[in-house]
Amino acid sequence: MNYWLIKFAPFRFSWDDCLRNGKFEIYSVRNHQARNNLREMKLNNKVLFYQS
């Protein structure tokens, strides 16, 4: 099992949106390592959701 730290800007997608939709969406990830890490995420991994 992996652990992830996810940071979102509230003007794009909020925690309430995640709860309402049952999922979250990723927008415009330019960093290659970040993109690869997002691809490694699996169902039931632990996530700390940080909203700035």
Three-state secondary structure readout of the chain: CCEEEEEECCCCCCHHHHHHHCCCCCCCCCCHHHHHHHHHCCCCCEEEEEEC
- Kindly report, residue by residue over 19-46, the tens digit of the pLDDT: 888 877 777 788 899 889 888 999 899 9
Q: Tell me what pLDDT residue 3 has.
A: 93
Q: How confident is the model at residue 17 (pLDDT cuts 50, 70, 90)?
A: confident
pTM over 0.85: no
> Does 51 have pLDDT greater than 80?
no
Q: Tell me what pLDDT residue 38 has.
A: 86
